[in-house]
């Protein structure tokens, strides 16, 4: 599963959590989740190729500069990345979107999201 391979890579930047950052956990942190998986077809059926979009959300203690720096580290890590993520071969990765979400009152955090598309082959 691709999620299992992503966690060790992103942990080199900050503590990471699948889905969301649990309340009471230290910051900075990065949450990540699969947004979509789109397979491609050829005349014989499924080609075995997929584009898998993940969103990485950086959470800091209401510090925009720190959030943007960590988001840039996520972008640098994954833009053009290829290799194996658990049992999934990734031929290339592209960054498709970066959004400075801003201050989240309820959480008391600053958040920036980075979307990456992993082009995979089974």
All structural domains of the chain, each given as residue ranges with its CATH number in brackets, are 2-113 (3.30.2000.10)
Q: Which residue has the tokens 């995979």?
A: 120
pTM: 0.92
The H or E element containing residue 70 is helix 64-78
Closest by alpha carbon to 97, among 119, 79, 85? 79
Residue 22's φ and ψ, nearest 5 degrees, are -60, 145
List the beta bridge partners of residue 88. 85
d(Cα 42, Cα 31) in Å, to the nearest integer?
Answer: 35
Contact 60, 67 (CB under 8 A): yes
Average pLDDT over residues 32-47: 88
Give the pLDDT confidence score for residue 84 in this predicted structure: 94
- State the CB neighbour count (10 A cutoff) for residue 24: 5
* N- to C-terminal Cα separation, the chain: 11
Q: Using the predicted structure, report yes or no on whether residue 118 has a pLDDT greater than 80.
A: yes
Report pLDDT digits (tens) over 77-114.
999 999 999 989 999 999 999 999 999 988 889 999 99
Report pLDDT digits (tens) over 59-71.
999 999 999 999 9
d(Cα 29, Cα 37) in Å, to the nearest integer?
Answer: 25
In terms of phi and psi (left: phi > 0; alpha: psi -120 to 50; beta: otherwise), the region of 57 is beta
Confidence of residue 39 (pLDDT cuts 50, 70, 90): confident
Q: Using the predicted structure, report yes or no on whether residue 122 has a pLDDT greater than 80.
A: no
């Amino acid at each position: 599963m691709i999620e299992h391979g992503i966690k060790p890579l992103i942990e080199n930047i900050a503590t990471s959590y699948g889905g969301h950052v649990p309340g009471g956990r230290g910051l900075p942190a990065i949450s990540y989740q699969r947004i979509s998986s789109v397979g491609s077809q050829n005349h014989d059926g499924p080609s075995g190729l997929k584009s898998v979009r993940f969103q990485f959300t950086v959470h800091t203690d209401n510090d925009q500069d720190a959030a943007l720096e960590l988001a840039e580290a996520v972008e640098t890590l994954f833009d053009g990345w290829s290799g194996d993520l658990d049992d999934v071969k990734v031929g290339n990765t592209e960054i498709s979107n970066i959004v400075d979400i801003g201050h989240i009152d309820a959480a008391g955090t600053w958040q920036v999201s980075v979307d990456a598309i992993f082009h995979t082959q089974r």
